[in-house]
Chains A and B, each alone.
Chain A
Amino acid sequence: GESVGLHLPTLSVQEGDNSIINCAYSNSASDYFIWYKQESGKGPQFIIDIRSNMDKRQGQRVTVLLNKTVKHLSLQIAATQPGDSAVYFCAEKTMNRDDKIIFGKGTRLHILP
């Protein structure tokens, strides 16, 4: 079957360090991937996306890397700040499945002072 998941439920990072959050997916037909940030009491917020014809995409302080060979996705956050504390979800969409966007398990990012 298909699934999108994460390796670690919790990640603790020192303020100012870089954070790397990983995601593994099993559906080789997935062609669009998204990272969302969910703060307590809020809905998920779009961070960055990447299509399967790319292997890297950069935003403001964030970079997404896609390794299709091993079906692995990562989110890198540079110079982590207290405001980055949240749960991070990867999500996938498969072209032949129209409107379905499926979320992975999530990683809680905890910032150490």
Chain B
Amino acid sequence: DQQVKQNSPSLSVQEGRISILNCDYTNSMFDYFLWYKKYPAEGPTFLISISSIKDKNEDGRFTVFLNKSAKHLSLHIVPSQPGDSAVYFCAASDDYKLSFGAGTTVTVRA
């Protein structure tokens, strides 16, 4: 059963514009949410996270929004840069086990 879903497999955005990545989850026990970035042939690297007691967390160009009632979170990247081209995974946990979405491939066009 897919508890974390990223329904957009790909996203193309122009350099300087905003990238918005979406993620939905089904397990109401999840209390911590993370975004990872992954380049080809590398492991996922942590980007930003948010606890279920918050609805927004910001770190530089990256902001994560959490809507608990809708079981939805999003990642905003602004402005998008060429180095942001990668696969982005949404993950959720209620303890130590991370449940991942299938990923969204972001391509930033010059």
Partners in one complex: no
Question: Which residues of B pack against A, CB within 8 Å?
Answer: none
